[in-house]
Chains A and B, each alone.
Chain A
């Protein structure tokens, strides 16, 4: 679970940092796609990070 938690924390930090640095000048769908990607990463780590629950993991 810990590694997936780290993924979530990194995703949250990137949600603030990248849009105001690398994607600040974004004019296409790049910014939307980036945040959607972070949402997907969060979704996947929710599934992976909860896999062991109830099985002592």
Chain B
């Protein structure tokens, strides 16, 4: 099994690297615009697959399968809520953002805020928040690859997994910038879909072959209360899980930047459509895997996993070794496709927003240095197994949430005073940081409900009020 998994993984790396090198033919020069946003010339289908593979991390096939196994159908609800909100935000704002990016020459997401509000400091503030929020998130992806290796070949293999992730991320980012990242994302996204489809088909056939049909599975899940919300998903918990994610398309720079890359509005439309197809299909697949796995365990047909995150690995230990190898590689692919996209976006923030005082001709060297620096930071945090890293990564979207009101207001044409926009972004972020210090546990902040409301709701309320006051102040 170990040799087969490593063989499939090596095959995946070789194919990915060939694709990354081949993507250099799309590259026209090595300007920052070309490296970070493909010169605004990417086709719609490729844009859709890089958007999807960047969005859907290893959380889906490991974390969400475990959530659905443990907490039932409400986990599907929180992911679908994210999906509906994201598609709605894209339909509402994507064309306007794409046109403005093209007209005003935005490359980094921070530049967008700086340009819309007329203050370079907003880009600096946003970039610092991106770094604080997303390095732990990307490091958790790298850690996930290390954990997968440790699970496969023993604890000593952890560092090998982290090192391999670092090399793959660097090579696939530096060979042709966003072109190589997008092409490998497309390959990895399709791999993720195929692997999850195979795993669900195997699980269904295994259970059905053992006499557990859909009717019996429904009875078991219903008797455990897993097809309802009572006991598992009180409203405050559902809000805590959904609020940070429904603004993901607005607050997470790696997906905001992807609105700049399609070559025309027809390609932008294709990006939104095919992302929607990918997202809905993948969400249904992984949640059905979680529910069926739970029915199988309750019926005594599958062994009980030791923890929520061990549901997928437990299933892999029972499947045909080839399917296990393909799904194992899909976990690596999901982590790499998210992490290298974040890596490139953070590098663009460092070189464009924090390094704006550096003269233009030295920016390219700064961009490459930023890629190396951020990649080493991600891998370093993962290799050191820094405590709280997973908790901080879960909290990343809450940390970024304060960017939502100022961004949406500016996209909709309601601009606040730049000071109000900055105050709105900083206040929400500071609130989260203060609560992390207070609770001394990032995961506790995620689920805490001060005065009956989740922290995400407070962040959103405070930041929105400040933006509203700023908009009114500017109009009077």
Q: Are A51 and B269 in contact (CB under 8 A)?
A: yes
Produce 1/0 per residue, A4-42, CB < 8 A to B. 110011011001100110011111111110011011101
Q: Are A43 and B222 in contact (CB under 8 A)?
A: no
Interface centre among A11, A12, A30, by most B CB within 10 Å? A12
Produce 1/0 per residue, B67-110, CB < 8 A to A. 00000011011001101110110111001000000000000000
Which residues of A have CB within 8 Å of B77? Answer: 15, 19, 31, 35
Closest CB of chain B to A33's CB: distance in Å? 10
Q: Are B91 and A8 in contact (CB under 8 A)?
A: yes
Closest CB of chain B to A9's CB: distance in Å? 6
Produce 1/0 per residue, B262-289, CB < 8 A to A. 0011111100110011001001100100
Q: Are A54 and B268 in contact (CB under 8 A)?
A: yes
Closest CB of chain A to B44's CB: distance in Å? 10
Which residues of B have CB within 8 Å of A55? Answer: 266
Q: Are A43 and B87 in contact (CB under 8 A)?
A: yes
Interface of chain A, helix or strand or loop or mixed?
helix
Closest CB of chain B to A5's CB: distance in Å? 5
Which residues of B have CB within 8 Å of A49? Answer: 91
Given contacts A28-B218, A43-B280, A53-B265, contact A12 B84 (CB under 8 A): yes
Given contacts A29-B218, A47-B273, contact A11 B84 (CB under 8 A): yes
B235, CB-defined interface residue at 8 Å: yes
Given contacts A15-B80, A51-B269, A54-B268, contact A5 B88 (CB under 8 A): yes
> Among A5, A24, A36, which residue has its beta carbon within 8 angstroms of that of B80?
A36
Q: Are B95 and A53 in contact (CB under 8 A)?
A: yes
> Among B81, B92, B280, which residue has its beta carbon within 8 angstroms of that of A16?
B81
> Among B74, B84, B272, which residue has its beta carbon within 8 angstroms of that of A50?
B272
Closest CB of chain B to A18's CB: distance in Å? 10
Closest residue of chain B to A49, judged by CB?
Answer: B91
Which residues of B have CB within 8 Å of A53? Answer: 95, 265-266, 268-269
Closest residue of chain B to A20, judged by CB?
Answer: B235
Interface size class of A (residues with CB under 8 A): 35 or more
Q: Are A54 and B266 in contact (CB under 8 A)?
A: yes
Closest CB of chain A to B225's CB: distance in Å? 8
B246, CB-defined interface residue at 8 Å: yes
Taken together as a complex, chains A and B put the C-alpha atoms of A17 and B287 apart, in Å, by 21
Which residues of B have CB within 8 Å of A5? Answer: 88, 91-92
Closest CB of chain A to B404's CB: distance in Å? 14
Given contacts A19-B229, A35-B76, contact A28 B95 (CB under 8 A): no
Q: Are B91 and A46 in contact (CB under 8 A)?
A: yes
Taken together as a complex, chains A and B put the C-alpha atoms of A24 and B95 apart, in Å, by 38
Which residues of A have CB within 8 Å of B277? Answer: 43
B228, CB-defined interface residue at 8 Å: yes
Which residues of A have CB within 8 Å of B218? Answer: 28-29
Q: Are A35 and B80 in contact (CB under 8 A)?
A: yes
Taken together as a complex, chains A and B put the C-alpha atoms of A32 and B88 apart, in Å, by 21
Taken together as a complex, chains A and B put the C-alpha atoms of A16 and B425 apart, in Å, by 26
Taken together as a complex, chains A and B put the C-alpha atoms of A37 and B356 apart, in Å, by 47
Closest CB of chain A to B220's CB: distance in Å? 12
Taken together as a complex, chains A and B put the C-alpha atoms of A29 and B76 apart, in Å, by 12
Taken together as a complex, chains A and B put the C-alpha atoms of A49 and B284 apart, in Å, by 23
Q: Are B283 and A39 in contact (CB under 8 A)?
A: yes
Q: Are B73 and A31 in contact (CB under 8 A)?
A: yes
Closest CB of chain A to B218's CB: distance in Å? 6
Closest CB of chain B to A23's CB: distance in Å? 8
Given contacts A11-B84, A39-B83, contact A46 B266 (CB under 8 A): no
B227, CB-defined interface residue at 8 Å: yes
Taken together as a complex, chains A and B put the C-alpha atoms of A27 and B229 apart, in Å, by 9
Which residues of B have CB within 8 Å of A42? Answer: 83-84, 87-88, 276, 280
Taken together as a complex, chains A and B put the C-alpha atoms of A31 and B222 apart, in Å, by 11
Closest residue of chain A to B288, judged by CB?
Answer: A32
Given contacts A25-B228, A54-B264, contact A9 B88 (CB under 8 A): yes
Which residues of A have CB within 8 Å of B246? Answer: 12
> Among A26, A35, A43, A54, which residue has its beta carbon within 8 angstroms of that of B228?
A26
Q: Are A50 and B280 in contact (CB under 8 A)?
A: no
Closest CB of chain B to A22's CB: distance in Å? 12
4 closest pairs, A vs B, by CB?
A8-B88, A54-B266, A54-B265, A50-B269
- Listed in ascending order, the chain B residues whose CB lies under 8 Å from chain A are 73-74, 76-77, 80-81, 83-85, 87-88, 90-92, 95, 218, 222, 225, 227-230, 235, 238, 242, 246, 264-269, 272-273, 276-277, 280, 283-284, 287, 291
* Sample of 13 more A-B contacts, CB < 8 Å, known A8-B88, A42-B87: A5-B88, A5-B92, A8-B87, A8-B92, A19-B77, A25-B228, A26-B229, A32-B73, A35-B73, A36-B284, A50-B91, A53-B95, A53-B269
